[in-house]
Structure 1
Amino acid sequence: MSTSNLPGGALLRHSAIWIAAIVVIIVMPYVFTSSSSISMMSQMGVFIVFALSYNMLLGEAGMLSFGHAVYFGLGGFLTLHAIRAVNDGAWSFPLELMPLVGGLGGLFFGVVFGTVSTRRAGVTFAMITLGIGAMVEASANMFTNFFGGESGISGNRVTDVTLLPFSYGPQVEVYYLIGAWTVVSALLMFLLTKTPLGRMANAVRDNPERAQFVGYNTTMARFIQFALSGLFAGIAGGLFAILFEIMTAPNVGLIQSGSVLLMTFIGGLGAFFGPIIGAVLVTYMHIALSGFSEGWILYFGLMFVLMVMYVPNGIAGVIVSHGPPLRAGLMHRFAVPYALAFVPALLTLAGLVAMIEMGYHLSLSYDPSRPIELFGMEITATSVVSWVVAVAAFGVGVMALRWAATRISLRWGEVNQAMDAQRAKQ
């Protein structure tokens, strides 16, 4: 794999981005020094690799999979078994390279299951992956010697066999190990998009009939992409096993597969950095919201629905769409309409959160009349006034947001006309 097909300026720009990413990874533990922050950043690294591996299927090759956690989970289980074998003295293998065990496991199962699933495309492919995911998750309770049953399997990542003089007991050492693997894996997946295989996967995604007509074997292209995606998902699973030192049946299950779909879609499929944004955001929200609200899964569901309805290209798509106006020097024209949309958006969000939290409090609290603290205020869920204010805030916010969206749409039309005029002058 090479970057020889990149222009000199693009190559320099991409190199600067990767160097900046490495610097950020190195510096972050000095900025966020708490153990919880370092643990969160380690999880972000794991799920960045996982989301990028899923993007190889959905974003690059157009294959919607509902069972991608199979390769993540099986890679993690194999990694933990390998660590246990090293601790038992059965073989010798450095911890720094243990994610390769998970990667090779993911590649193996990607080849096995990909042979069957990639013979079909579209909805049929998605249903096959759903069936494979359900089958493997059910098998976790049957093959207890490998999966450990309901309690899973655990291991101790602190071994005497390492390449570097680290024990990997402290969280920060594990963070840097995960950071290194994240950069290497992400770089390899990026370079893969520049190869003939990556271009072929894009062709199969965009127009499989035409790709087959000009001589490409679309089934083989999907199969290779699927297997390589399993490789990187297995690496992510290996990193997860090293980080948490335990793997359980849900790690190969449908919820984990849905989680990576959520990350990839919210981040955006249109740009390579989209799944990275999605992995970071969803991981942060998962940890933050689970400690804030018992309805955190509902928030994720609502966010996913809204993204599908109104931002189908994800966060990355929004960022990329502003590139042309920025280069044309027209971004300042969005200042007023975006500012007008900001306050209604906050009002809508506040009303929605208040209704959800009051609803959960009424359903789950032993004493529903006990006030809850929200937005720095005490709110009584049993009070009619609280519900009226929350519903009014939500309703007014939605109406104002629709008005602001109309202004933004009109401004986009004006900016597009201005860009067309600039191009006509050139």
Structure 2
Amino acid sequence: MASRNAMLRRVGLVLGLVILAVMPWLLGSYQLRLFTEAVIFSLFAVSYNMLLGYAGLLSFGHAMFFGWGAFSFAVALNHIPGIPLVGALALAVASATVMGLVVGVLLLRVKGTPFALLTLAFNALVFAIGIKWQSVTGGDDGLGVVAPPLHLGLGQINVSSGANLYYFTLLIVGAAIAFAWYFTRTAMGQSVLLIRENEERMRFLGYNTHVSRLILFVLSGALAGLAGAFYAILNAFVSLDAVSIDMTTKVLLMTFIGGTGQFLGPVAGAFFFTYVQNFLSDLTDNWPLIMGALFIAMVLWVPGGLAGLAAKLSRGRSDDDQDGTLAGME
């Protein structure tokens, strides 16, 4: 049974990669852009789940890293002449990493409600900086983003839109999600889970729980900053919406709807939220009300989210198969 499940997972992985590779031929331009947006939000949701699902830290200000990465990328392109695309992306990730380190050192001294409220306060501070520092951020007007071509030695590729943007996003964002998954499987990632369950025992065993949690916090901020930079490329524009409380609410909904119990739960939640929001916004201007009601229903009746529901259905099917096998043996 175990070997069969492993084989099914490999087949599913290969099939999924093939489908992702041919997606530009299956979707129109608008649908491909929507799919690319869902991929970007998947990384944002995964980064948030590293805080909530693995460290047990509820943040109301995760958009500060997303928006900081987006604005850092836009500022680099607008104020540093000749900077290459990869250089601007690296600068955005580096600035989000430094911000995560500074904020983490200050905030991780507390947990629970004080931590959640302080993240909200820091998010408001970053939002205020975006408004007041108009000469750099553009204030309420935001910043336009013209992504330079990607130089590959013998030639260059325009990654501003279409299939090129999709493949570039899929490659970099997919690698970042894969790295996040690998990190959660390392000793450091597992130690954060154990710290969440019993911090005093981990301290007794010699772990520096503050440093472990800080490393996870910084990595989460860096991944969110990378997602923000790609969000800027996708929209060719960065506004204060990227660092608003509404953006934090979005990622919180994605994570809860997808489920925090499994790594890919937030990815499913990001795709679900992106497509359902797009569908509902075409029907009515009151789509946030419907999304809020859906979120409440998920919390009350499907607390494990989409990933938990899929796992429950899979276990039920396995139990049925086992019962059928036992009945046949009798």
Instruction: State the TM-score, normalizing by the size of structure 2.
Output: 0.91
Between 143-152 and 223-232, the greater mean CA deviation after superposition: 143-152
| Cα offsets for 1:307-343 (capped at 9, x unmatched) | 1111111110111123333223349xxxxxxxxxxxx
Structure 1 residue 302 corresponds to structure 2 residue 293:
yes
- Residue 274 of structure 1: how far off its partner (Å): 0.3
| Aligned AA (2:75) | H
Q: What is the alpha-carbon distance in structure 2 between the residues aligned to residue 154 and residue 37 of structure 1?
A: 23
Residue 259 of structure 1 aligns with which residue?
250
From the superposition, tell whether residues 143 and 297 of structure 1 become closer, same or farther in structure 2 (CA, over 3 Å): same
Q: How does 1:17-96 map to 2 (within 5 A)?
A: 17-32=12-27, 34-85=28-79, 90-93=81-84, 95-96=85-86
From the superposition, tell whether residues 182 and 16 of structure 1 become closer, same or farther in structure 2 (CA, over 3 Å): farther
Alignment equivalent of 1:122, drawn from 103, 112, 125? 112
Q: What is the alpha-carbon distance in structure 1 between the residues aligned to residue 296 and residue 185 of structure 2?
A: 32
Alignment equivalent of 1:245, drawn from 236, 251, 257? 236
Q: What is the alpha-carbon distance in structure 1 between the residues aligned to residue 12 and residue 209 of structure 2?
A: 33
**Is the CA contact 2:160–2:234 (under 8 Å) kept in the aligned structure 1?**
no
Structure 1 residue 270 corresponds to structure 2 residue 261:
yes
| Aligned AA (2:98) | F
Q: What is the alpha-carbon distance in structure 2 between the residues aligned to residue 311 and residue 150 of structure 1?
A: 39
Give the SS at the match of 2:206.
coil
Q: What is the alpha-carbon distance in structure 1 between the residues aligned to residue 315 and residue 146 of structure 2?
A: 51
**Is the CA contact 2:49–2:260 (under 8 Å) kept in the aligned structure 1?**
yes
Structure 1 residue 329 corresponds to structure 2 residue 320:
yes
**Is the CA contact 2:75–2:137 (under 8 Å) kept in the aligned structure 1?**
no
From the superposition, tell whether residues 197 and 14 of structure 1 become closer, same or farther in structure 2 (CA, over 3 Å): farther
**Is the CA contact 1:264–1:274 (under 8 Å) kept in the aligned structure 2?**
yes
From the superposition, tell whether residues 247 and 290 of structure 1 become closer, same or farther in structure 2 (CA, over 3 Å): same
Residue 100 of structure 2 aligns with which residue?
110
Alignment equivalent of 2:283, drawn from 278, 292, 315? 292
Identity over aligned residues, as a percent?
Answer: 32
Residue 334 of structure 1 aligns with which residue?
none
Alignment equivalent of 2:222, drawn from 231, 254, 263? 231
Give the SS at the match of 1:63.
coil
Between 99-108 and 305-314, the greater mean CA deviation after superposition: 99-108
| Cα offsets for 1:376-418 (capped at 9, x unmatched) | xxxxxxxxxxxxxxxxxxxxxxxxxxxxxxxxxxxxxxxxxx7
Structure possessing the higher relative contact order (Cα contacts under 8 Å, 6 or more residues apart): 2
From the superposition, tell whether residues 167 and 271 of structure 1 become closer, same or farther in structure 2 (CA, over 3 Å): same
- Residue 206 of structure 1: how far off its partner (Å): 1.9
From the superposition, tell whether residues 108 and 12 of structure 1 become closer, same or farther in structure 2 (CA, over 3 Å): farther
**Is the CA contact 1:99–1:235 (under 8 Å) kept in the aligned structure 2?**
yes
| Cα offsets for 1:160-195 (capped at 9, x unmatched) | 552263122442211111111221011101101110
* CA RMSD in angstroms, aligned pairs only: 2.4
Residue 279 of structure 1 aligns with which residue?
270
From the superposition, tell whether residues 71 and 137 of structure 1 become closer, same or farther in structure 2 (CA, over 3 Å): same
- Residue 120 of structure 1: how far off its partner (Å): 1.2
Residue 206 of structure 1 aligns with which residue?
197
**Is the CA contact 2:150–2:157 (under 8 Å) kept in the aligned structure 1?**
no
| Aligned AA (1:166) | I
Q: How many residues align?
A: 324
| Cα offsets for 1:66-90 (capped at 9, x unmatched) | 000100111011111222346xxx2
| Cα offsets for 1:207-257 (capped at 9, x unmatched) | 222222322222111111000000100110110011111111121111101
From the superposition, tell whether residues 96 and 25 of structure 1 become closer, same or farther in structure 2 (CA, over 3 Å): farther
Q: What is the alpha-carbon distance in structure 2 between the residues aligned to residue 75 and residue 9 of structure 1?
A: 42
- Residue 287 of structure 1: how far off its partner (Å): 1.5
- Residue 96 of structure 1: how far off its partner (Å): 4.8
**Is the CA contact 1:103–1:231 (under 8 Å) kept in the aligned structure 2?**
yes
Instruction: State the TM-score, normalizing by the size of structure 1.
Output: 0.71
- Residue 29 of structure 1: how far off its partner (Å): 1.4
| Cα offsets for 1:270-316 (capped at 9, x unmatched) | 11110010000101112221111111000111011111111111110
